Amino acid sequence: MSAVNEMIVTEHWRLRVPTAPRVGRTVCVPTVHPTGDRRVLRCAQAVLDAGFDVHLIWLGGDPGAFRHHPRLRETRLPEPASLTDRLRAVPKVAAVARDVEADLWHIHDYYLLPHARRWTRRTGRPVLYDVHEYYPEYYSERFAAPSWMQGLARRLVAGVERRHAVRLGAVNAVSEQLANRFRAFGVPAVATPNYPSVDAFHHPPRELTPDLLHRVVHTGNLTTQYGADVLVGLAAELARIAPGVEVLAISRFPSDAARQRFAESLERAGRPANLTMLDPMPAHEVAGLLATCGIGLSLMQDVGEAPLAVNTKFYEYAIMGLAVVTSNLPAARHFVQTSSVGRCVPAHRPDLFARAIVDLIADAGPTCEAVNRAAGRARRELSWERTCAPRLQSLVRQLASGPEGERGAGPAVSPVAPGGDGR
């Protein structure tokens, strides 16, 4: 196996081992996210490009330890069937990460914070906390409790997050708003929105044409919070008012319970024939799917962090030249107004989602012209490699070298200049 410039491809992901000079230090990436998670892969690629070795630890696929390349190792643990299984996997992931000869740990989960604090206390080596979500809002919403109790839970989660984060190394956050939360209490932080990677989205640009608007796609998770029931309802409504429109959805279920709820929703709706469920696919194949579609869906419900979040699929839809139909939530609405073209509708109304799709098709000429203009801008501006990777690489270099440039010198780093989140 060549030691440089090699594309490593598995059934779940691909990463490029670059020609950059190797610095001889290892970044261990532990997470309870699924094997092949897109943000984890983007970050790992940036770290490889900076010359570091990478050891990935995550859940799913054939369990085992794999040496794909002298600079790239992977440990897979069994895939969880539920949130409970995922939580039970946390100490197992942590145990593997603890034993890796790492110069830096790059954790991708709130659950790993107390473990990471122990690693850095034991070794003096830093931890980079990658913040994928607005965790206080995300977790407090899960409490079936009065609003005042949810508020208490939100403050509790935020307090735990802050207590650990200030004792680690730095933060890599999915938005500028999140990065500012951590900067406010003295943690070096950069913002790296989930912009698509050229390595995964190198598909040649194609013009949006009226015929493509008849293919509607949803690529995100299918849970109640992410609008799984709304997806079924809008497909049923489209079958009634626009039978020529096809709806495609990737079967992304985070648990067996979510899969079962979706199956029951399909049964209640009579299994709409215009809804095609696709097998899960690695991140680098999503661009090919989007190139065959004209409208992208986001069906987030107005709960937890949803009003604050711009999900990965928004950026992917924009650069691939799709119109967007999304729940009318603040961050999503702002994205459509500034970086895309589409419609925002009440989150709980499948009939209005269907009507918005029909309206875009009826207005096909102007819609396609506007989307094609926006896609050109998105391809220039929403680039992981151009905007996010350099910020992350700079932060990792500072953390791994320490203030004196010595291995294991501790978590202190110099302040990092803020970066925009592209919203």
pLDDT tops 60 at residue 404: no
**Which of 26-40, 191-205, 395-409 bottoms out in mean pLDDT, i.e. has the lowest?**
395-409
Q: What is the mean pLDDT of residues 326-335?
A: 96
Tokens read off for 287: 């661009």
Measured between alpha carbons, how far is 418 from 82 in angstroms, rounded to an integer?
37
Strand order across the 342-345 sheet: 275-278, 246-250, 215-218, 295-298, 323-327, 342-345
Span of 17-21, 43-47, 182-186 with lowest mean pLDDT: 17-21
pLDDT tops 60 at residue 98? yes
- The DSSP H or E segment spanning 275 is strand 275-278
Mean pLDDT estimate for the chain: 91
User: Is this prediction's pTM over 0.75?
Assistant: yes
Write out pLDDT tens, residues 161-213.
999 999 999 999 999 999 999 999 999 999 999 999 988 888 888 999 999 99
Question: What burial class does residue 211 get, using C-beta atoms within 10 Å of its C-beta: 0-12 exposed, 13-18 middle, 19+ buried?
Answer: exposed
Residues 6+ apart with CB under 8 A from 317: 290, 296, 324, 340
Q: How confident is the model at residue 413 (pLDDT cuts 50, 70, 90)?
A: very low
CA-CA distance, 241 to 233, in Å (whole number)?
12
How high is the pLDDT of residue 423? 32
Mean pLDDT to the nearest integer, 53-61: 97
- DSSP secondary structure, 340-380, as one string: --EEEE-TT-HHHHHHHHHHHHHTHHHHHHHHHHHHHHHHH
State percent of the chain over pLDDT 70. Answer: 93
- Tokens 């933060």: give the residue: 171
Helix, strand or coil, per DSSP, at residue 277: strand
Average pLDDT over residues 43-47: 97
Residue 418 pLDDT greater than 70, yes or no: no
- What is the structure's pLDDT at 314? 96
Instruction: Say whether pLDDT at 408 is over 70.
Output: no
Of the listed ranges 12-26, 71-85, 279-293, the one predicted with least confidence:
12-26
Six token digits for residue 221 = 């998770």
d(CA 419, CA 327): 27
pLDDT of 3 above 50: no
218-253 residue pLDDT tens? 999 999 999 999 999 999 999 999 999 999 999 999
Output DSSP code: residue 385: I
Sequence-separated (6 or more) residues with CB below 8 Å from residue 83: 254, 255
Least confident range from 92-96, 391-395, 415-419: namely 415-419
pLDDT at 405: 38
Structure tokens at 145: 């409790």
Backbone angles phi, psi at 202, to 5 degrees: -90, 5
If pLDDT is split at 50, 70 and 90, which confidence band does 147 have? confident
Q: Judge whether residue 138 has pLDDT over 70.
A: yes
Beta-bridge partner residues of 27: 54, 104
What share of the chain has pLDDT > 90, as a percent?
A: 80
pLDDT in tens, 259-305: 999 999 999 999 999 999 999 999 889 999 999 999 999 999 998 88
Q: What is the secondary structure of 22-34 as a DSSP string?
A: P-S-EEEEEEEEE
